[in-house]
Amino acid sequence: MALIVHKYGGTSMGSVERIQNVARRVAKWHRAGHQMVVVPSAMAGETNRLIDLAKAIQAEPDRRELDMLASTGEQASVALLAMALKSQGVDAISFTGWQVPIVTDDAYTKARIESIDDRRIRENLEQGRVVIITGFQGINREGHITTLGRGGSDTSAVAVAAAIHADECLIYTDVDGVYTTDPRIVSEARRLDRITFEEMLEMASLGSKVLQTRSVEFAGKYKVKTRVLSSLTSPDIPLDEEMKSGTLITFEEEMDGTNMEQAVISGIAFQRDEAKITLTKVPDVPGIASRILGPVAAANIDVDMIVQNQAVNGTTDFSFTVNQNDFKRTMKVLETEVVPGLGGGEVNGDPLIAKVSIVGLGMKSHAGIAARMFECLAKEGINIRMISTSEIKTSVVIEDKYLELAVRALHAAFGLEGEAVEEKVV
């Protein structure tokens, strides 16, 4: 008997029939003798619908109220799934984040989980129930509902798995694993049987939304055995077959000899939801970066890439990227709090950019990989506007309209195509 956490995304929970299929799959695991905790997302489209409603009433919705609203999608899902399990003869109970409780910090719309009380979960598991917990939400110390950012149910699931010391966390989604790149963009993308935690962390944080970045951080920090697999296969497939399917997140130290031969680049990630901001003609004096980015950080805005140009005639240009959702707020902070005190400088914003990244542990030991990337993009006539590198990734910012071309060209240039995977369900 093992303690297992399942997570089901929006598409997997997208209709009554799909919820019944999820229940059938969970029931199969439960009947095999496993203790089951299930973390579902809201039904497909529901979170978007709620956010659109909020925006129709308030252009920049109040963040506390937005979380109050957006969290309801998952509340509906857990109750429906509990009913579906009961109708299939399996005892189940649903809980919202505050009932567990899953305690978070105060950052509405992107809260971080601080602690999870496992008492109620354990009590109900011991009574033989399937425990169903809302993804995406928690409660802060003042008792207000918070949400964990888009795609946050992944993080809820892995965090719950860590808190209850689950044997495995299975993330069921609408693709049958992690691919070399998004299979919706590149049909030749190949499913990976395994990916290291380090690479998955980079892929996720660089835009592969198959897993939310923080879920991968939790998996790494607490060594949660995590697998990404399809919820769209028959719910009745044999358990041992299902347990081996999809993509397992591994740790570098667990790699065996066969993996030493793996490709230099494991995958290509991309992101459309960033915006670039440039301050031109800024006085080139010590402390300028902190005077620009300090107020941005104080407004709880995450900055991604940063480039400061060589000074000419005592002034310099300073560019950085932020999430598109934070674009307007960042521009406002710069215009009202930063530029007036700088003694010069103009702010220019460009939301039509995209970031493409190549990721691979092999980059640690192979020189010239970034150069190959730049050469490939040059051949396609794609201009690179910013570059950033780390040990296992190289990212470039390009014009948004070239994104798909860049991803396809790089996928081919690094030989990532594979034979079509039979179970591919996209």
Positions touching ligand ASP (CB under 6 A) are 9-10, 41-42, 47, 73, 135-136, 150-154
CB of 310 to ligand ADP, least distance (A): 36
Per partner kind, with CB cut-offs from 5 to 8 A, the member of Mg ion, ligand ASP, ligand ADP, none near residue 284 is none
Of the residues 4, 5, 6, 9, which one makes contact with ligand ADP according to CB under 6 A = 9
C-alpha atoms less than 13 angstroms from C-alpha of 423 in its C-beta half-sphere: 21
Side chain identity, residue 352: L
Does the annotation flag 222 for ligand binding? no
Q: Is 272 in the site for ligand ADP (CB under 6 A)?
A: no
Per partner kind, with CB cut-offs from 5 to 8 A, the member of ligand ASP, Mg ion, ligand ADP, none near residue 152 is ligand ASP
CB of 270 to ligand ADP, least distance (A): 8
Q: Is 208 in the site for ligand ADP (CB under 6 A)?
A: yes
C-alpha–C-alpha distance, residues 9 and 117, integer Å: 23
Per partner kind, with CB cut-offs from 5 to 8 A, the member of Mg ion, ligand ASP, ligand ADP, none near residue 138 is none
Of the residues 69, 210, 334, 359, which one makes contact with ligand ADP according to CB under 6 A = 210
CB of 273 to ligand ADP, least distance (A): 13
Per partner kind, with CB cut-offs from 5 to 8 A, the member of ligand ADP, Mg ion, ligand ASP, none near residue 150 is ligand ASP
Burial class (CB in 10 A: 0-12, 13-18, 19+), 263: middle
Closest CB to ligand ADP among residues 200, 396: 200
Backbone dihedral angles phi then psi of residue 253, each to the nearest 5 degrees: -70, -15
What's the CA angle centered on 8, arms 7 and 14, to 5 degrees?
165
CB of 39 to ligand ADP, least distance (A): 11
* Residue 214 tokens, joined: 């923080």
CB of 380 to ligand ADP, least distance (A): 21
Piece in contact with ligand ADP (CB under 6 A), picked from 24-32, 159-167, 207-215, 308-316: 207-215
Per partner kind, with CB cut-offs from 5 to 8 A, the member of ligand ASP, ligand ADP, Mg ion, none near residue 414 is none
CB of 265 to ligand ADP, least distance (A): 13
Residues 20-79 that bind ligand ADP (CB under 6 A): 41
Per partner kind, with CB cut-offs from 5 to 8 A, the member of ligand ASP, ligand ADP, Mg ion, none near residue 49 is none
E-strand stretches of 89-175: 92-95, 102-104, 113-116, 130-133, 137-139, 145-147, 168-173
C-alpha–C-alpha distance, residues 302 and 312, integer Å: 28
Contact, 208 vs 267, CB < 8 A? yes
Side chain identity, residue 115: S
Binding-site size, ligand ADP (CB under 6 A): 20
Closest CB to ligand ADP among residues 69, 178: 178
C-alpha–C-alpha distance, residues 30 and 96, integer Å: 21
C-alpha–C-alpha distance, residues 76 and 349, integer Å: 39
Does the annotation flag 149 for ligand binding? no
Q: Residues 363-392 vs ligand ADP: string with x where CB under 6 A?
A: ------------------------------
CB of 7 to ligand ASP, least distance (A): 8
What are the C-alpha distances in Å from 80 to residues 93, 328, 369? 11, 38, 49
Side chain identity, residue 198: E
Closest CB to ligand ADP among residues 41, 250: 41
Closest CB to ligand ASP among residues 53, 352: 53
C-alpha–C-alpha distance, residues 220 and 200, integer Å: 10
C-alpha–C-alpha distance, residues 118 and 92, integer Å: 17
Contact, 319 vs 296, CB < 8 A? no
What's the CA angle centered on 403, arms 398 and 408, to 5 degrees?
125
Residue 16 makes CB contacts below 8 A (sequence gap 6+) with: 80
Of the residues 11, 71, 196, 278, which one makes contact with ligand ADP according to CB under 6 A = 11
Closest CB to ligand ASP among residues 157, 334: 157
C-alpha–C-alpha distance, residues 151 and 381, integer Å: 34
Backbone dihedral angles phi then psi of residue 232, each to the nearest 5 degrees: -100, 5
Residue ranges of the binding site: 7-10, 47, 74, 173-174, 179, 184, 209-210
Residue ranges of the binding site for substrate: 47, 74
